[in-house]
Chains A and B, each alone.
Chain A
Amino acid sequence: MLDLHIRQRLGAFTLDIAFTAEERGVTALFGRSGSGKTSVINAIAGLRRPDAGHIRIGDTVFFDSVRRIDVPVEKRRIGYVFQESRLFPHMTVRSNLQYGLRRVPAGERRIAFEPVVDLLGLGHLLDRRPRGLSGGEKQRVAFGRALLAQPRLLLMDEPMASLDAARKAEIMPYIERLRDEMNIPIVLVSHALDEVVRLATTMVLIAEGRVRAAGPVGTVMGRLDLSAVTGAQDAGAVLDLTVERHVPEDGLSVLAFDGGRLTVPQIDRPPGAAVRLHIHARDVIIALQPPSGVSLRNTLTATVAEVAESGPSSADVRLAVGGSFLIARITRAAVRELELAPGRLVVALVKGIAFEPDSSGEASDRRKRVVDV
């Protein structure tokens, strides 16, 4: 487990960050540009020394200001995928991949060359120079290079920020494969909510150098007080569902979770597969009774859990649906007229569903992903 607490003066503000991350999965450090996210992973890698605090993975102490421990970068064995890939221009892709691998004693190599090349689809690029590669290919090589250095933790600093939407859609599945098939914890820095929702298991929300919230993605996203931090436009809940069945004649799929079922345009996943949906607050409507004679098909029985103002005329309502949460953004007038207060039974109507690009196979363009259902 990664256990971290660092304090560091950064120009105008002080970074004061503490969190823990599991041995498996992706921990996303999410926040706006300039919130201090990258400084955190630079401290983990050892590229910047914090003023005070500690950084530990399991029993290994990398930094401890009290005990005066500061392991040099090259001895930490923490992989780092930089935003601009930073491949060595004078080496072939093969030599780049082997750079870290060669510096690990043979007996400590758990991750072998060939499987990584296969996992990342690099076989046809091995003899080429980085100069001729596309942005997405460069990043894949950078993933492989970091992975083959046998890291106990993999850091990724906005690995998709310099890529266009199509390249990003091409890279995401590879990160998912790293997450699911390699037993290495990943700490991902991102300011793009769609990346976090799709890839992260744990989310650490950072604003002005402080941790505002940390926990499972669904829990953090379901909190009303954080919508200003996550971005008002993107406010909404995250649901983890499984594919129950497909209805090919209508081109629909039925997804189930502990709060009920959602029908969505057919997705390319087998029944039983896990699917994560980001349901925007502006796409959720609240009714007191199940409506009749409307085109909306997704109605869920819900209980109002919390109501909070979110703008001059709007309010966010957190709805408990089974053990999960949805957020609805409605007018304050509607809150008053429907007498919405914690404990009130309502019906949540889900107007549109934003698919993360993997489920539809489409490029990550919101227009294409949102379908009224």
Chain B
Amino acid sequence: MELLTPMETTALLLSLRVAGVAIALGLPVAVLAAWVLGRYSFPGKTLVDGLVHLPLVLPPVVTGYILLVTMGTKGVVGGWLYQTFGIKLIFTAEGASLAVAVTSFPLMVRAIRLSVEAIDSGLEAAARTLGAGPVDRFFTILLPLMAPGLLSGAIVAFAAAMGEFGAVITFVSNIPGKTQTLPLAIYAATQEPGGDAVAARLAAISFGVALMALMLSEFLANRVRRLIGQV
């Protein structure tokens, strides 16, 4: 007997894919945001900071709704994307990725920013005197030293992205095989008569994935810290 039913496999793989794409796309932006917020002060910084953190405090349904309005095929951005490139986000897995990328973004920024702020800016000054320009310094000094925060931020955000419910169901609905990620599948199962066993199995899978992600995060962060000479 297979360990997982085809429906469970579909939901799990879709969740992994949706979360994976979301983190892959969100991470560079998060690194940039964390670097700018952690290192520079500029007018309007508080506003930018607030916008970055907004998805953390906003009800996910509201985030999903805002995406629906702006990124739908009739929305300002979504309409343009659809007309120009034929890209449709609503009711698609890509749309689900966008939704979880937005909701998990602040988690990544927070973790990475903490490690950026912990880096002694004197090291960057030293690198400057040794002839390293801004991009050079970013890749040779900042990026390696922020790696622990970057890794744990990405993994925690990945786990949270796998579990996102409200923003996904509001923006891309609950279509099996297309947008039905694990939490949505659990919800669907609980709505059907006799679906309790299915829901329980799916919940157990979610539990396992989340726990594994957190443990992996700790493990990798420790390895990286050793690698960059912090312990």
Contact = CB atoms under 8 A, between A and B. Distances in A.
B84 interface: no
> Which interface class (under 10, 10 to 19, 20 to 34, 35 or more) fits B?
20 to 34
Q: Which of A82, A84, A90 has the most CB of B within 10 A?
A: A90
Nearest to A89: B229
A82 B145 CA distance: 20
A57 interface: no
A337 to B, nearest CB: 57
Given A86-B120, A88-B141, A73 B227 contact: no
B126 A86 contact: yes
B131 A74 contact: yes
A103 B126 CA distance: 13
Given A82-B122, A99-B127, A89 B228 contact: yes
A47 to B, nearest CB: 6
Contacts of A78: 129
A149 B129 contact: yes
B120 to A, nearest CB: 7
A104 B132 CA distance: 10
B123 to A, nearest CB: 6
A317 interface: no
B159 to A, nearest CB: 27
A146 interface: yes
Nearest to B230: A89
A90 B120 contact: no
B229 A47 contact: no
Q: Which of B125, B126, B229 has the most CB of A within 10 A?
A: B126
Contacts of B125: 47, 73, 82, 86
Interface in A61-76: 72-76
A92 B132 CA distance: 18
A90 B141 CA distance: 8
Contact of B144 (A72, A73, A77, A90): A90
B3 interface: no
B121 to A, nearest CB: 10
Given A84-B122, A86-B120, A90-B229, A79 B127 contact: no
A78 B130 CA distance: 8
Contacts of A146: 129-130
Nearest to A78: B129
Given A86-B120, A89-B229, A89-B230, A73 B126 contact: no
Contacts of A86: 120, 122-123, 125-126
Contact of B229 (A72, A73, A131): A131
B130 A100 contact: yes
Contacts of A88: 123, 126-127, 141
A255 B132 CA distance: 49
B132 to A, nearest CB: 6
Interface in A223-275: none
A104 B129 contact: no
B141 A80 contact: no
B231 to A, nearest CB: 8
B130 A129 contact: no
Nearest to A142: B126
A77 B129 CA distance: 7
A90 B144 CA distance: 7
A13 B229 CA distance: 41
A188 interface: no
A185 interface: no
A130 interface: yes
A296 to B, nearest CB: 50
Nearest to B144: A90
A49 interface: no
A41 to B, nearest CB: 11
Interface in B123-164: 123, 125-133, 136, 140-141, 144-145
Given A89-B145, A90-B145, A103 B229 contact: no
Interface string B92-114: 00000000000000000000000
B126 A77 contact: no
B93 to A, nearest CB: 37
Contacts of B123: 86, 88-89
A103 B228 contact: no
A46 B229 CA distance: 29
A145 B130 contact: yes
Nearest to A155: B129
A76 B132 CA distance: 11
A129 B225 CA distance: 13
B126 A104 contact: no
A146 B125 CA distance: 13
A45 interface: yes
B183 to A, nearest CB: 38
A192 B6 CA distance: 77
Q: Which of B126, B130, B229 has the most CB of A within 10 A?
A: B130
6 contacts: A47-B129, A74-B131, A86-B122, A88-B123, A99-B130, A149-B131
Given A47-B129, A90-B144, A90-B230, 15 more contacts: A47-B125, A73-B129, A74-B129, A74-B131, A76-B129, A82-B122, A86-B125, A88-B123, A88-B126, A89-B123, A89-B145, A91-B229, A99-B140, A100-B130, A103-B131
Listed from nearest, the 4 A-B pairs whose CB atoms lie closest are: A90-B228, A100-B130, A103-B131, A80-B129
Interface of A: 45-47, 72-80, 82, 84, 86, 88-91, 99-100, 103-104, 129-131, 145-146, 149
